[in-house]
Structure 1
Amino acid sequence: MSDEIRGLARGDAEVPLSVLDLATVGVGSTPSESLAVSTELAKRAEEWGYHRFWVAEHHGMPGVASSSPAVLIAHLAANTRTIRVGSGGVMLPNHAPLVVAEQFGTLHALHPGRIDLGLGRAPGTDPATARALRRAADVDPDDFPQQVAELTAFLDDEFPEGHPYRRIHAIPGEANARGVGRPPIWLLGSSGFSAQLAGLLGLPFAFAHHFSAANTVPALELYRSSFRPSEVLDRPYALIGVGAVAADTDAEALRLARTGALSMLRLRLGMPGPVPTPEEAEAYPYSPLEQEIVDGWLSNVVFGSPETVRRGLDELRERTGADELMLTTNINGGAARIRSYELIAQAYKMA
C-alpha cells in the first residue's frame, strides 16, 4: 500500500477532508481574482488541516478558471508547503499521455511526495472544444484503459521490447520515478466504468458524488468487488467529491448554495456563465421544471450551519463507506467560499 494512503487507513481517526476547487468565477469578479482566491484558499486549507487540494479541468466555461490543471497545480504547490496538490482531474482523452507524463513528472520532481495525478475519461467540454484540444475527431473515451496504461508506462519507463514507444523517455517523469517514485495515479468517475477499471488495476478511486449522487453507492460497490491488490494498494481506497456549503446559519448557507444551483441550471440549459449573485438567484423566475432541477441538485449538496454540515457529511460517509471526503464549494463570492471551508474545519476541530 502506498505510504500516503497507508497513513490514512481508517481506524479511530476522523475521515480525512480534502478540497476540490474549480477556481469559481462569480458575477462581479474576474478569472485573475478567482485564481487569487484559489491560491489563498489552498494556503488556508493547509493551515486548517485539509489533506489534499485538487483542481479540475474544464474548458469554455465562464464560471470556471481551472482550464489548465498542471499550470495551476505548479502555482498552488509553490505557494504551500505540506498539503498534497493534484488534479481532479486531468481529462486524459484531451491529452497525449506523453505530455501528461512530462507535466506531472516535472511537478513531482519539483514537489516530491505532494503531487496527485487524478485522471478522468470525459472531455470536460463540448465536442467542438474537445476536437480543438485533441487536434483529432476520432479519440474514443472507451480507449481510456489503453491511455492509462500508456501514461503509466511512460512514467515507469516500462514499455515492453518491440513496443513503438520503447525508445521514448518521459523526462523527468521516468528518470524521477527511479529515484523517489512517481506521483500516485487516481481514477475518477461518475459511473461504473472507471470504478471497475480502478478496482481491476488496484488504484485509488474518486467518485463524483456531487453531480452523480444516484450512482455513488453502486459505483463504490463495483469498485470494491472488482478490486485486485497491486503494488499501489493492498485494499480499496475510495474518495467521494461532495458539494458542501457552510455559513453561520442554515438560511444563509441555502442562500449561497442557490447561486451554484442556478449556475448549474444555466449550464444544463446551454447558457453557461459566471456564478450568479445570491440576489440574482433569489429573483430568478424559475419554471416548474427548472425548480425541480434546482431542488434535485440542492438535495445532493450538504449545506447549512457548521453543525448541520458535519451531521450531513458524517451521514454520507457512513452510508457510502468512503475513506475520504473531498469538498467542493461552487458559490458566488471568494470570501464566502473560504469562510465555508473554515467553518467546516472548525466543526471537525481541525482549525
Structure 2
Amino acid sequence: MPTVLSVLDPTVVPSGPTAADTIGASVDLARHAEDLGYRRLWVTEHHNHPGLATGTPPVLMAHLATRTSRLRVGSGGVMLPNHAPLAVAEQFALLAALHPGRIDLGVGRGAGTDPVAARALNRADAHDFPRAVAELRAFLGERELSPGHPYGTIHTVPQATPPPALWVLGSSAYGARLAAAAGLPFAVAHHFGGGDAGHVLRLYRDTFRPSAAQDRPRTLITVTVVAADTEAEARRHAASQELVQLRIARGLPDALLPADEAAALLGRVATPFGASAIVGDPFRP
C-alpha cells in the first residue's frame, strides 16, 4: 500500500516576519501542498509562545479551507482539556457543514502551553480526557452517552453530515490504548522525538476494537523532514529547528532563527531529534 503524505503546520514564526506574515505563509503552504497532491494539512494549538502563531486551530482551519478546494484541513490537534467538549463540537460541526468531507478533528490531552497560561485557559484535569472524548463524540452524533448522563440530549447545530473525522493524538501507550478501546483512528506524534513509535503503533493495532466510526485500525505518524539539494545543505537548515526544540525543552521559547545563525549558536551543524527526523537530499535511494 503506497504511503500517503500529509503536512503538519505548527505555524512557526521566523525571526523578523510577524505572526500575520506566518499566517499568510500557511495559506501559501496549504495551496502548494494541495497542488502537489498531499492528502491533508493539520495545524497545531499553542498558547503564550512567541515563536508559534496559532492558539485557535478552528479559526485558522476555516481560513485555509476557504482558500483550498480538495485538501483535508484539520487540527493536530485541539488540546481538549483546554476547552469544553461542546464548544469544540460546535466549532467543528460548523466547519464540517461548510466544507463537507474535508475536516479532520485531532484531539490531544497535552497543554500546548506553560502552567500559567494553562490556568488562564481554565484547563480541566487531563485525567478526564477519556470522558471528554466520549462527550465530544456524543455531541457530534457519533455515539450515545450512558443512560442518565446529564448531557445525553445535546447535539450540535448544525448537525454535520458527515461529521468531522475524529482522531486521537498521542505519543505514548496511553493514547494508543484510548484510541484502540474507542475504535478511533490514532495519530502518533513521533516528531516530538521521544518514545518507541513502533511499540505504540503495535499496541494500538493489537488492541483495537471496531466501532461505528472505524471498523479497522487506522494510523498516522508525524516525523520532522528537512530536505535540500545536498545532505550538507539539509543539515545546515535543520539547525534552525534543532535550536527551537532545545530552547523549548529548556523553557526558553523563541522565534525561528536563520540557519547560519542557528548553527553558529549551536556550535555545530547537526541532525535534530535523532531517529525521529529525516534529514538529507531527496535523490539518495
Q: 1:45 aligns with which of 27, 33, 37?
A: 33
Match of 2:179 in 1: 198
Matched, 1:141 2:129: no
Q: Which amino acid aligns with 1:146?
A: R
Q: 2:199 matched to 1:218?
A: yes
Q: What is the count of residue pairs matched by the alignment?
A: 284
Q: CA RMSD in A?
A: 1.8
Q: For 1:116-150, what per-residue CA distance to the aligned partner results, in whole angstroms no more than 9, with x for missing partners?
A: 0001011111111111112x5xx221111100001
Match of residue 306 from structure 1: 282
- The answer (yes or no) to whether the contact 2:238–2:271 under 8 Å persists in 1 is no
SS in structure 1 at match of 2:88: helix
User: Which of 134, 145, 158 does residue 144 from structure 2 map onto?
Assistant: 158
Provide the secondary structure at the position in 2 that maps to 1:245.
Answer: strand
Letter in 2 for 1:259: S
Query: 2:238·2:272 contact (CA, 8 Å) conserved in 1?
Result: no
Rounded to whole Å, the distance in 2 between the matches of 1:79 and 1:104 is: 18
Which amino acid in the other structure matches residue 188 of structure 2? F
Q: Secondary structure at the match of 1:118?
A: strand
What's the counterpart of residue 335 of structure 1? none
Partner Cα distance (1:59, 1:66) in 2:
7
Paired residue type of 1:56: T
Q: Is the partner of 2:273 in helix, strand or coil?
A: helix
Deviation at 1:295, TM superposition (A): 5.4
Question: Which residue is equivalent to 2:58?
Answer: 70
SS where residue 306 of structure 1 aligns? Answer: coil
Match of 2:163 among 175, 182, 194: 182
Pairwise CA distance, 1:163: 2.4
CA distance in 1, matches of 2:32, 2:72: 13
- What's 2:95 paired with? 107
SS in 2 for 1:23: coil
| Alignment-derived partner of residue 241 in structure 1 | 222
For the structure 1 residues 306 and 285, does the alpha-carbon distance in structure 2 shift closer, same or farther, using more than 3 Å as the test? closer
Query: For residues 303 and 295 of structure 1, what CA distance do their matches in structure 2 show?
Result: 7
Unaligned residue ranges in structure 2 (runs of 5+): none
Shift of 1:168: 3.2
Q: 1:304 to 1:197 in 2, by over 3 A?
A: same
Greater CA drift, 125-134 or 77-86: 125-134
The answer to whether residue 232 in structure 2 is matched with residue 251 in structure 1 is yes
| Rounded Cα–Cα distance in structure 1 between residues aligned with 2:65 and 2:276 | 31
Question: Does the residue aligned with 1:102 lie in a helix, a strand or coil?
Answer: helix
Alpha-carbon contact 2:89-2:140 (below 8 Å) kept? yes
Q: Secondary structure at the residue paired with 1:307?
A: coil
Match of 2:248?
A: 267
Is it true that 1:229 corresponds to 2:210 in the alignment? yes
Q: Which whole-Å CA distance do the structure 1 matches of 2:242 and 2:273 have between them?
A: 7
Secondary structure of the structure 2 residue equivalent to 1:239: strand
Matched with 1:276 is 257
| Counterpart pick for 1:117 among 105, 123, 132 | 105
Distance 2:263 2:129 in 1: 41
Tell me the residue number matched to 2:47: 59
Separation in structure 2 between the aligned mates of residue 222 and residue 109 of structure 1, nearest angstrom: 34
